[in-house]
């Protein structure tokens, strides 16, 4: 599918931001490992549905009731109902289900689409080798795991500088047996680990932070009654075009929570964008003048691409540092940054940094979406500010991964967008 984008002169209105993908994944796993729970306002997308399916394979029973999911969990008992788990395109599901498969008495196969089969898993697999028998394709999916007959209790070491999802995955499984997790190197994307700890705490789990790691004693997950807040990662792709197109937009369901991508608000303010944040909303208008910015992306990789789109229209050179881990997302997002050049942007990827010199006079272009939802939305943001003509971005079907109603939301604000096959 192609996302077609035309020049848009103004954005006006009030929209509800969809539930957080990160929180929905974590709430589903914690609820599935515990007793009876209710998850309110979950994000329903291809990624979160992959996690729901994986949790059902684990043994949880999940039903819909209004805008909630009711979860009958396994109460800490690992007895998979299915021996093959297809995670589709969801890297989070892949990482989170793997340590649980390592607790199974029977072989569990974990596979996914072509993108998943390119997602590195070696650091996480290495951390499980003392407890599990593991088969993989050189550290990549498909995977097969089963418990060696022991348990996960004890100690393990894992790199912290590749993916925070490895650490979150170990943390989610740790209460079932008890585990000390020692980190090697700097922990990247720390806010995502904080989200995991937050949801685990709401399910009654105590995690002790140590110098260089975590200790989790053997415990039982309790039930949850949890409301999923709005997703700042998705909101970033609404805020971005509002910063350089005449706008008056209110985004609802955005709370002052622990999502690292809340930094989008601070960075846009630094760039000159007028924003007002309440308890559960953010209002945004176009900046009179956009200033360049320097930004360390170590902890918040998912807002880099929408910020690159904004930087294309800012005065001066913006620099995004410590972006190397963007190579290991749904696509190589550093390579994907080069697509902005087709619109006329001056974008350079230098080692682990991205440099953007603005402002550009954007012209319509045909661009690759790299089968990556965040790439598609970021390119679409910039394409809204082109001069005449139509831009086309492939991989538009991938919007279902995190923001299924992105097109409807943007059109409701006045964006000139549509789909073509």
Answering whether pTM is above 0.85, one says yes
pLDDT of res. 1: 96
- Amino acid 189: pLDDT: 86
Residue in 47, 299, 302, 372 annotated catalytic: 302
Query: What was the pLDDT predicted at 188?
Result: 82
Indicate if 394 belongs to the active site.
no
Question: Within a 10 A sphere around the Cβ of 364, how many other Cβ atoms?
Answer: 20
28 vs 51: CA distance, rounded Å? 7
CB burial readout 58-68, b (16+ within 10 A) else e: bbbebeeeeeb
Q: Per residue in 251-263, is it b (16+ CB within 10 Å) or e — as a string?
A: bebbbeeebbbbb
| Strand ranges for 10-54 from DSSP E | 10-16, 36-40
Query: For residue 361, with 0-12 CB atoms within 10 Å meaning exposed, 13-18 middle and 19 or more buried, which class applies?
Result: exposed
The span from the CA of 396 to the CA of 10, in Å, is: 23
- In angstroms and rounded to an integer, the radius of gyration of the C-alpha atoms of the chain is 21
Q: What's the pLDDT score for residue 150? A: 59
User: For residue 399, what pLDDT is reported?
Assistant: 97
- The phi and psi torsions of 215 (rounded to 5 degrees) equal -125, 130
pLDDT number for residue 151: 54
- Buried b / exposed e over 8-19, threshold 16 CB at 10 Å, is beebeeebebbb
Instruction: Spell out the per-residue pLDDT of the chain, length 421, in tens.
Output: 999 999 999 999 999 999 999 999 999 999 999 999 999 999 999 999 999 999 999 999 999 999 999 999 999 999 999 999 999 999 999 999 999 999 999 999 999 999 999 999 999 999 999 999 999 999 999 999 999 975 556 899 999 888 899 999 999 999 999 999 999 988 888 999 999 999 999 999 999 999 899 999 999 999 999 999 999 999 999 999 999 999 999 999 999 998 999 999 999 999 999 999 999 999 999 999 999 999 999 999 999 999 999 999 999 999 999 998 899 888 999 999 999 999 999 999 988 899 999 999 999 999 999 999 999 999 999 999 999 899 999 999 999 999 999 999 999 999 999 999 8
The Cα diameter of the chain in Å comes to: 65
Q: Which strands form 366-367's sheet, in the order they lie side by side?
A: 366-367, 390-393, 2-6, 417-420
Q: What angle do CA 373, 374, 379 make, to 5 degrees?
A: 105
Task: Please state, in angstroms and rounded to a whole number, the distance separating the CA atoms of residues 4 and 38.
Answer: 38
- Kindly write down the DSSP assignment for every residue of 387-404, as one continuous string: SSSEEEES-GGGGGGT-T
Instruction: State which fold the 21-227 domain adopts.
Output: UDP-n-acetylglucosamine1-carboxyvinyl-transferase; Chain (3.65.10)
- Inter-CA distances, 41 with 69, 96, 374, Å: 8, 21, 22
Sequence spans of domains, the chain: 2-18+229-420, 21-227
Let me know: does 121 contact 142? Beta carbons within 8 Å: no
- Residue 296 CA to residue 289 CA, distance in Å, equals 22
Cβ-based neighbour number of residue 371 at 10 Å: 18
CA angle 111, 114, 118 (to 5 degrees): 85
Asked whether this chain's domains 2-18+229-420 and 21-227 adopt the same fold, the reply is yes
- Selection from 118, 164, 400, 140 nearest residue 302 by Cα: 164
The pLDDT value recorded for residue 153 is 62
Give the CA distances from residue 279 to residues 40, 229, 256, in Å, rounded to whole numbers and listed in that order: 19, 12, 7
Q: Return the bridge partners of 277, or none.
A: 282
CATH 3.65.10.10 fits 2-18+229-420, yes or no: yes
Instruction: Work out the angle between the directed axes of helices 21-33 and 91-101 (0-180°, nearest 10).
Output: 20
208-210 and 213-216: which strand pairing? Answer: antiparallel
- Phi, psi values for residue 36, rounded to 5°: -85, 135
207-244 pLDDT tens trace: 999 989 999 999 999 999 999 999 999 999 999 999 99
Work out whether strand 61-65 and strand 68-72 pair parallel, antiparallel, or are unpaired: antiparallel
């Amino acid at each position: 599918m192609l996302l077609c984008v035309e020049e848009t002169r103004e954005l006006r209105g009030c929209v509800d931001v969809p539930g957080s993908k990160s929180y929905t994944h974590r709430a589903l796993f914690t609820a599935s490992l515990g007793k009876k729970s209710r998850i309110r306002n979950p994000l329903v997308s291809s990624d979160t549905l992959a996690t729901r399916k994986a949790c059902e394979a684990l043994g949880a029973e999940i039903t819909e009731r209004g805008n909630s999911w009711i979860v009958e969990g396994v109460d800490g008992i690992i007895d998979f109902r299915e021996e093959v788990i297809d995670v589709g395109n969801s890297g989070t599901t892949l990482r989170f289900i793997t340590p649980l498969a390592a607790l199974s008495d029977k072989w569990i196969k974990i596979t996914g689409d072509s993108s998943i089969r390119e997602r590195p898993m070696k650091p996480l697999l290495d951390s499980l080798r003392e407890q599990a028998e593991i088969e993989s394709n050189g550290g990549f999916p498909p995977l097969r795991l089963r418990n060696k007959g022991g348990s996960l209790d004890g100690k393990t070491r894992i790199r912290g500088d590749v993916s925070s999802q490895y650490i979150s995955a170990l943390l989610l499984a740790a209460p079932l047996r008890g585990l000390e997790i020692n980190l090697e190197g700097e922990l990247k994307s720390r806010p995502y680990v904080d989200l995991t700890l937050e949801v685990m705490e709401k399910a009654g789990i105590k995690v002790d932070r140590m110098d260089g790691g975590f200790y989790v004693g053997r415990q039982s997950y309790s039930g949850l009654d949890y409301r999923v807040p709005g997703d700042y990662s998705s909101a970033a792709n609404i805020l971005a075009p509002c910063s350089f197109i005449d706008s008056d937009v209110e985004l609802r369901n955005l709370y002052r929570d622990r999502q690292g991508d809340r930094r989008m608000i601070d960075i846009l303010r630094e760039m000159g964008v007028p924003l007002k944040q309440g308890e559960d909303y953010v209002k945004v208008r176009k900046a009179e003048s956009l200033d360049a910015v320097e930004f360390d992306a170590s902890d918040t990789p998912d807002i880099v691409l929408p910020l690159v789109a904004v930087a294309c229209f800012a005065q001066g050179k913006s620099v995004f540092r410590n972006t190397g881990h963007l190579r290991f997302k749904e696509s190589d997002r550093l390579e994907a940054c080069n697509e902005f050049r087709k619109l006329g942007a001056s974008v350079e990827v230098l080692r682990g940094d991205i440099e953007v010199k603005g402002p550009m006079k954007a012209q319509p272009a045909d661009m690759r979406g790299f089968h990556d939802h965040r790439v598609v939305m970021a390119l679409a943001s910039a394409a809204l500010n082109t001069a005449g003509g139509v831009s086309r971005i492939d991989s538009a079907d991938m919007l279902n991964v995190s923001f299924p109603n992105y097109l409807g939301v943007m059109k409701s604000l006045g964006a000139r967008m549509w789909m073509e096959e």
